[in-house]
Amino acid sequence: MEIATLAGGPARYAIATLAGGCFWCTEAIFKRLRGVESVVSGYSGGRVENPSYEQVSSGMSGHAEAVQIKFDPKEISSEQLLDGFFKLHDPTQLNRQGSDVGEQYRSAIFYHDGRQKKTAEAKIASLEKSDVYKSKIVTQIEPFKSFYEAEDYHKDYYDKNRSAGYCQVVIDPKIRKLYQDFGDKVRGVYKNT
């Protein structure tokens, strides 16, 4: 996943579009990594233009809950982003993550160019060869077509709702794992508040 620059943006940044279950989780994780400039929750990989959360949740739009990550490849490589992606969700669950079930929760990498595609394919091949997972990886590798930002109430959901049950039960353990496994690549110190 080499440099795919943002249209009109500075060339020093690259973008990655990833889906690993609920975007509240993936946004909370990736925004804590050093070298990540921004993370936006939204929808990608579907058939409906500018879908609403309700359309995506119904499973009828074909979109996955995804995040679009703007990052500095001099600080964090594409491979390191994929390391986090594969370590912090279960890429062997088809159309689900835990109790979140449906095509909108699928594991997917939406590649922006040929290098991103090759990097994703190589990462999956390496993980399957190493037998890290007991089951086959079902992460889809799809060409990027479009990304639609989620509604405002989804943005920074974890940071705004830390006391919510979903955040405490589902997201907090992932954040703890991030700090434990990615130490020097994570911003700040983990605070369980």
Domains of the chain, with CATH numbers?
14-185 (3.30.1060.10)
The whole-angstrom separation of Cα 90 and Cα 43 is 19
Amino acid 3: pLDDT: 42
List the catalytic residue out of 4, 14, 18, 22: 22
> Per-residue pLDDT for the chain (193 aa), expressed as one digit of tens each?
334 444 554 568 999 999 999 999 999 999 999 999 999 999 999 999 999 999 999 988 999 999 999 999 999 999 999 999 999 899 999 999 888 899 999 999 999 999 999 999 999 999 999 988 989 999 999 999 999 999 999 999 999 999 999 999 999 999 999 999 888 888 866 555 4
Mark whether 167 is an active-site residue. Answer: no
Q: What pLDDT sits at residue 193?
A: 45
In this prediction, residue 76 carries a pLDDT of: 92
Q: 3-class SS at 23?
A: helix
> Pick from 40, 59, 30, 58: which is nearest to 185 by CA?
30
Which class for 90: exposed (0-12), middle (13-18), buried (19 or more C-beta within 10 A)?
middle
